[in-house]
Amino acid sequence: MDKKIIAVVVFLIIGFFMGFMANSKTTVIYEEIDALSSLSFSYDKPMKTASIRVPAVDENKEGLTTILKVEIIPGKGRILANIDRMLYEPDTQNSVRIAYNVASERIGIDLSNYDIIYTVETDATAIEGPSAGAAVAAATIAALLGKGIKEDVMITGAINHDGTIGPVSNVMEKAHAVADMGIHTLLVPLTQGSMDKFETTRYCEEIGNSSICMDEEIPQKSSLSDLTGIEVIEVVDIDDALEYLLE
């Protein structure tokens, strides 16, 4: 057979297989796109949701309240933070991760086949610190159980890996924010239901014909309930808090 004819035949065979492979790859790509489309569509239909109001402070240490929303969807065990309106600081991200683990352990549910999306609705540009940890854990548990959170109860507190609730700062400012919202009950960490302070008073003592005066610092303890007009309850762990929070 003429060498030119052989070369043409070989060229046609190679071209045929290259076209076949290209079509095969295109088919695979379209299949992957279809799979991704169906996955993204599921984000609009969360399996379970829960929301909770959370007391916080802004950059000026002024008290405010935010709304935390939890959505559970089919997925791969991912913890997702919605940053459409705000940013999560690193310590807050770690707090969310701990709360996620505590919720999973408390309910005894394997979350490897689900994604959980956390969204905080606030006018602030960032949320910092671990003070929303207990609220995140409570809302996650509520979503997993298919239960709601009472609207007249709020909580502030860090969440520890064993489910205990740790102390937070600016409790007084948060309590006032809760009172301003018309909420009747605030759950706080152990020992933070009262405020310890020293009141300066002037003491004078007559010694002979002289009077000696000095300023003294007198310890004072006032309950947050008395200072804010709402019921402030100390809770030890997330199980204790759920008794007040779950509907």
Q: Which residues are bridge partners to 201 per DSSP? A: 216
CATH code for position 161: 3.30.230.10
Q: Which amino acid is at 15?
A: G
Within-domain flag for 209: no
Three-state SS string over 46-81 comes to CCEEEEEEEEEECCCCCEEEEEEEEEEEECCCCEEE
Dump the DSSP string for 177-233: HHHHTT--EEEEETT-SEEEEEEEEEEEEEETTEEEEEEEEEEEEEEHHHHHSSEEE
Domain match, 103 and 30 both: no
Q: Which DSSP helix (H) or strand (E) runs through 121? A: strand 114-121
Neighbouring C-alpha atoms within 13 Å toward the C-beta of 30: 6
If asked whether residues 3 and 59 sit together in one domain, one would say no
Average model confidence (pLDDT) across the chain: 79
pLDDT category at 220 given cuts 50, 70, 90 is confident
Residue 10 has pLDDT above 80, yes or no: no
Number of structural domains found in the chain = 2
Look up the pTM and report it: 0.72
Please tell me the predicted confidence (pLDDT) of residue 5.
52
Percent of the chain at pLDDT > 90 equals 49
Whether the pLDDT of residue 151 is over 60: the answer is: yes
Cα–Cα distance measured from residue 199 to residue 144, given in angstroms and rounded to the nearest whole number: 47
- Regarding whether 138 and 29 lie in a shared domain, the answer is no
Q: Rounded distance, CA 187 to CA 239, Å?
A: 12
Residue 9 confidence (pLDDT): 46
Please indicate, yes or no, whether residues 17 and 114 belong to a single structural domain of this protein. Answer: no
With H, G, I as helix, E, B as strand and everything else as coil, classify residue 30.
helix
In a domain, 199, yes or no: no
**64 is a domain residue:** yes
160 is in which domain, residue-wise?
Answer: 48-194+222-245
Domain identity same for 188 and 111: yes
Q: Mark whether 162 and 85 lie in a shared domain.
A: yes
Give tens-digit pLDDT for 12-31.
Answer: 444 544 444 444 433 332 33
Write down how long the chain is: 247
